Amino acid sequence: MEALGTDTKHGRCCVCMVKNKICTRKCEFSAYFPNEMQDDYEAATKLFGTQNIIRMMKLAAHEQKHLLASSILKEGAAWTDDNIGGGYGVIQKLRWEIELHEASLSKIRMKISEEKKQLVLLSNQTGDNIKGGYGVIQKLMWEIKLHEVYLSEIRKKKKTISSTFK
């Protein structure tokens, strides 16, 4: 049987690495942002900011944390794959990103109102699956939160970049 080794064997988690902290066995982030996700995590911090990521993770219910973390990392990976350097190109890209995320947001909001209608229907019937339904809505709520944080970070970025081109 494998002995329970120390976490240093796997290196620090991404959050502790960024904050230059010792990552202990009890670290609340090590399960969600392990060492090997470093590239995606660093890209994600450029999008959301470390403080926002930590705040969102702390706000998330325990059973939602994995989903939230993987969404954050996915956004980071997408940003890296697709990043372009230099002035106006960046602004154009940010404009598209804003539009895309606004479109996703309105789609998610529509989905939520549909899910809510379904829930009302369900609760008028047996009462089965209602918990599952709320789970779906919770998930969509997190998606909205992520998109909103993303949008505000992009808007900030766009403002900063635009002001350097005056």
- Can you give the binding site for Zn ion, defined by CB under 5 A? 13, 16, 23, 27, 29-30
Min CB(27)–Zn ion separation in Å: 3
Q: How far is residue 83's CA from residue 33's CA, in Å, rounded to a whole number?
A: 22
Q: Which of 152, 42, 85, 157 is nearest to 33 (CA)?
A: 42
When the beta carbons of 24 and 64 are compared against Zn ion, the nearer one is 24
When the beta carbons of 26 and 166 are compared against Zn ion, the nearer one is 26
CA angle 103, 105, 106 (to 5 degrees): 70
Min CB(37)–Zn ion separation in Å: 12
Min CB(68)–Zn ion separation in Å: 16
Min CB(110)–Zn ion separation in Å: 38
Q: How far is CA 19 from the centre of its chain?
A: 19
CA angle 95, 97, 103 (to 5 degrees): 105
When the beta carbons of 23 and 69 are compared against Zn ion, the nearer one is 23
